[in-house]
Chains A and B, each alone.
Chain A
Amino acid sequence: MNIQTDQSMLRRTLRAVSCVVLSLLPVMAQANQVNLNINLATPVMEAEQSHRAFIKVSLEGFKQQDKQARIPANVAIVLDKSGSMGGDKIQYAREAAIMAIKRLDERDIVSVVSYDSRVQVVVPATQVRHQQRIYQAIRHIQANGNTALFAGVSKGANELRKFLSRNKVNRVVLLSDGLANIGPQSASELGELGASLAKEGISVTTIGLGLGYNEDLMTRLAGFSDGNHAFVENAEDLASVFQYEFGDVLSVVAQGVNIEIHCHNGVKPIRLLGRESEIMGSRVTTRLNQLYSEQEKFVILEVEVPAQQAETELELVSVNVAYDNLFTQDEEQLSGQGIARFSASKQAVTAARDDKALEAVVEQVANEYSREAIEARDSGDVAGAKKILQDSASYLGSQAESLSSPRLQKQQEEALQDADALETEQDWNKQRKELKARQYKRATQQTY
């Protein structure tokens, strides 16, 4: 009897885990398909009590098999040429743009828009064929004037629209070193524009140069349109950032990824870590604009699980993912579910722990702390912010130890350094930009 129950428990555990991890095994066999993984940080939970559980929903882009068979890109480079860009900065920016365009070829469409208080379409959307002519036009860009960032992005997006296609990677690469001061200039307005562009399949990558730009605006614009964001302190580094960015652009394998998570059986969604999302009753939706070759993108959903009896299984969530596969040019669907098991044995709980998923969870939770710290610091509460970061560090420390994860350790060190750096006012501007950029990268699993 005892053995029987043990056996049945083992079987059930196995089934549960396999269900969670490998619900998409048959799909994985196909090469040109996105992998959907749904992992619970704690697949086995203690019975008879309610839990806060974290579910990691991850998508991994398939490998781009042939470098030559990549997806064509449709890129608009939007360069800030306001007065503050004068001197070296604009020169580096021009060279970075030229270097980046060198990676493109005839399949791709490129356009270059520059803006100060006005917007100039330097290179209208064109196939990358006569490269010298494009470079020539870029080299003519001179810095002066104000910063009409909104109009610049609008015109850049408009250039993209000329060749807008679901089969291309449509991206605006925005470089700015200053505050938008002509046209809309609030982070929320730019965020709404980003969201609107994302619906058309355009994402905006924002590169903040120097210490003068508005990191909230830039991260929001990137966040709502699922582009990348980078903080570049020295203009010399622009070239490498542009290289990374174009590397990303050229390795996109899927676009327009909609993730819809339904919570079942009284499970209540609390928050989605890392990304903008909509929570509506038991439904959570979010979207990624693109998946890159061999890159994992994930979201962490925190849910509240009501108390369950021991030895029961519960379907917590079901996940539906829809995306455009750029290789097959089809809209494809994936689905899966997250199932938890409940056990009275603490050992079983510990044994079943999914370390990798938990690591990701801890990373994102700490990232949320970091955001809160910025908010506290913004409201002038330096001590509070510091405390949040220190708490975050100790949380990271303990988890790093139990998971023996060097990544978390590193993050802990960062948190401690950040806590120290909060104090001085003059460093804060730079610190904030760094923090914002780092948070953004963590949240979106940006590669650079």
Chain B
Amino acid sequence: MKKTTPILLAVIIILPLLLLAWFGVRLQLNQQQVVAHQLSNLVTGRLQRIDEQFQEHFFRLQQGFMRQAEGLQQATAGQHSVAPVRRFIGQSAVVQQMFVLSANGERRFPPRDQPLTQQEQDFVELTRKLLREPERFIMPVLDPVAQVRPSIVSASRSELQSAPLSESVAQKSRYSADRAVESLSASAGLGLAENPHGWIAWFAEAGLQQIFWWQDSDGNTIGFALNAPRLLSDLINLLPSSAVMGEGDQIADADSNNEIRLINARGDIAYSWGGLRADEAQKPLQTMPLSHPLASWHLAYYTAELPVAITGWLGLIVLLMLLGAGLSTLAYVLYREHSRELRVAEQRVNFVNQVSHELKTPLTNVRLYTEMLEQTLPDDEPLAQRYLGVISSEAGRLSRLIDNVLSFSRVKREGVRVRYQQGVIDQCLAQVVALFTPVLSAHQLSLRFTGKATQACYFDSEALEQIMNNLLSNCEKYAAAGRFVDIQSWQTQQADGLYSYIRVTDFGPGVSLDEAEKLFEPFYRGSDKLTEGVSGTGIGLGLARDLARAHGGDLSVDRSDTDAASGACFLVTLATPIESVTA
């Protein structure tokens, strides 16, 4: 009792705390996942916007090239003579070189029949393979729906592909950029894009080289090779620069704890921006490959360790601590209350013990003198004799009651001690029967004793007496209507020694099955119907059973005799060894 209470209280505190902590942590982790997911969505969105910007850039270039190509076509009457093309290359900052293929796949520029500059020679060398396959540039003009899919036109090798920019981007920038284009050449604007065109990206020399090609109305294919460093420079200029440190290092923008890198086909950083300086070992939170014609490039997003939702964890911890403190206080109050009650109960028990003890001495004297008086009183005074008998039996009863109380408290305090002495069970029983016969007969109950336990053995006669006293006084109290009380005793020799059995049967109202076990609990007193108008302490049966068990036996409600229809039947089992035992 003393130990279980704190444990129970601790469980009461810890269990809800643990539950709450578990749920809280789960919730927090979920929330973090949600946050991480949102962040990743945000990052994807951001990277996609960058990609779209690049696509728009290519689209603007494409628009420009188509107009310029048409301009060249008109200026040279479809011949693409050398001088104007060279002049165009000389003036265009973004174009490195150009080629013009005639409808039958013949190279018109760089010219075959005229001397070439070093650059042109290099370009011819570089694009020899590409230009030898003019079917690369024959892409049927598809309806817009089909054009959405970036069709790879007869790409014999994977790095070599030609595809239009994705239609969605084209649509989008048509609203923004194409206004200017249309106003410049209203007639050209829409018709130009219907001619076959596309972007080719392939690895040349040191990196990715982009070519835009367009087929004019004469069937000439005009290719614009971009100046790769210039393209990168333009792309870099589309991207934000980093914040300027200084002015007290106040960078409050969203870029302060991340870094985005533009990584080229070789895996080198082409450009990076953002407030964070990720080290070599750090893994990017996200990478996204760029769309054609920058397909082998990608963007990598680095971020500082995920911003932990400190407030969430803090809230949880505070909540847990508050709850813990509350529960502990509650538990402490309960515990104090409980222990105070225990103390009071103990004091009461002590008080009862002491009172019982105090009662014992005068009672002994009362009994002694009663006995002496009985002996000295002449036989011819029956009235006095009768009165003395009542005094004697009541004193005996009181004495048993006090013994019970004292035994009970001793059992609780220091356990049951059994003192084995040699004797005969039946003799002991006979004494008890003799003692109880007058008491029971006063209630019109007659004892029928059948003793078969006649073998001498070692047992605690006091304990046996107490057990029997309790059983018989119960019969007196509850089974007064039964007329008879049967006591049977017998002994059996078993493997581990001699066992003595005593069965006490009455013919009273009996004990219901449900109640059978509860009867033995201290302070329990059967059903109201039964206990009505009957005094009792409620410790008798429990004490009797404790004694019997200490004696290596048991006290139980016997059911073997249920055919007796009514009445309670208690069976006492005692281990009664024949040889002396030291207890």
Contact = CB atoms under 8 A, between A and B. Distances in A.
Contacts of A285: 90
Interface string A120-143: 111000000000000001001110
28 contacts: A113-B241, A117-B272, A117-B277, A118-B242, A118-B272, A118-B274, A119-B242, A120-B245, A137-B244, A148-B272, A151-B236, A154-B233, A157-B233, A158-B237, A182-B271, A182-B272, A183-B236, A184-B229, A184-B232, A189-B229, A192-B229, A193-B230, A196-B93, A196-B94, A197-B93, A199-B90, A278-B118, A279-B118
Interface string A140-164: 1110010010110111011000000
Contacts of B93: 196-197, 199-200
A183 B245 contact: no
B282 interface: no
A281 interface: yes
B247 interface: yes
The 6 closest A-B pairs by CB, nearest first: A140-B246, A281-B115, A118-B242, A154-B233, A196-B230, A158-B237
Given A182-B272, A196-B93, 4 more contacts: A114-B244, A117-B272, A120-B241, A279-B118
A148 B271 contact: yes
Interface string B277-313: 1000000000000000000000000000000000000
B228 interface: yes
Contact of A140 (B92, B94, B245, B270): B245
Nearest to A184: B229
A186 interface: yes
Given A122-B244, A192-B96, A182 B236 contact: no
Interface in B226-264: 227-230, 232-234, 236-237, 241-247
Contacts of A150: 229, 232-233, 236
- Chain B CB within 10 Å — which of A140, A184, A196 has the most? A196
Contacts of A158: 237
B264 to A, nearest CB: 9
Contacts of B120: 280
A348 B245 CA distance: 71
Contacts of B272: 117-118, 148, 182
A197 B93 CA distance: 7
A142 B245 CA distance: 8
Nearest to B120: A280
A199 B247 contact: no
Interface string A92-131: 0000000000000000000001100111111000000000
B365 interface: no
A190 interface: yes
Given A148-B271, A150-B232, A183-B270, A281 B244 contact: no
B494 interface: no
B117 interface: yes
B42 interface: no
A151 B240 CA distance: 11
A154 B236 contact: yes
B119 interface: yes
Contacts of A192: 96, 227-230
Interface string B210-234: 0000000000000000011110111
B237 A155 contact: yes
Interface of B: 90-94, 96, 114-120, 206, 227-230, 232-234, 236-237, 241-247, 268-274, 277
A118 B272 CA distance: 6
Interface string A175-187: 0000000111010
Contacts of B90: 199, 285
Contacts of A119: 236, 241-242, 271, 273
Interface in A411-427: none
Interface of A: 113-114, 117-122, 137, 140-142, 145, 148, 150-151, 153-155, 157-158, 182-184, 186, 188-190, 192-193, 195-197, 199-200, 278-281, 285
A148 B277 CA distance: 14
Nearest to A199: B93
- Chain B CB within 10 Å — which of A119, A141, A151, A192 has the most? A151
A183 B271 contact: yes
Contacts of A184: 229, 232, 270
A280 B115 contact: yes
A116 to B, nearest CB: 9
A177 B237 CA distance: 23
Contacts of B119: 278
Contacts of B277: 117, 145
Nearest to B261: A182
Contacts of B236: 119, 150-151, 154-155, 183
A151 B271 contact: yes
A158 B119 CA distance: 27
B243 A120 contact: yes
Contacts of B234: 154
A190 B229 contact: yes
A110 to B, nearest CB: 16
Contacts of A113: 241
A197 B228 CA distance: 13
Nearest to B119: A278
A137 B576 CA distance: 108
Given A118-B242, A281-B114, A281-B115, A199 B237 contact: no
Nearest to B244: A120
Contacts of B228: 189, 192
- Chain A CB within 10 Å — which of B232, B236, B243, B247 has the most? B236
B246 A121 contact: no
- Chain A CB within 10 Å — which of B114, B241, B244, B247 has the most? B241
Nearest to A153: B233
Contacts of A278: 117-119
A363 B296 CA distance: 48
A196 B233 CA distance: 10
B61 to A, nearest CB: 13
Nearest to B232: A184
A17 B477 CA distance: 159
Contacts of B274: 118
Nearest to A202: B93
A189 B236 CA distance: 15
B241 A121 contact: yes
Given A151-B271, A199-B93, A278-B117, A183 B241 contact: no
A120 B229 CA distance: 20
A57 B94 CA distance: 30
A158 B237 CA distance: 7
Nearest to A196: B230
A178 B515 CA distance: 99
A189 B270 CA distance: 12
Given A150-B233, A278-B118, A120 B94 contact: no
A229 to B, nearest CB: 19
A279 to B, nearest CB: 7
B270 A121 contact: no
A196 B271 contact: no
Given A120-B241, A122-B244, A193 B117 contact: no
Nearest to A201: B93
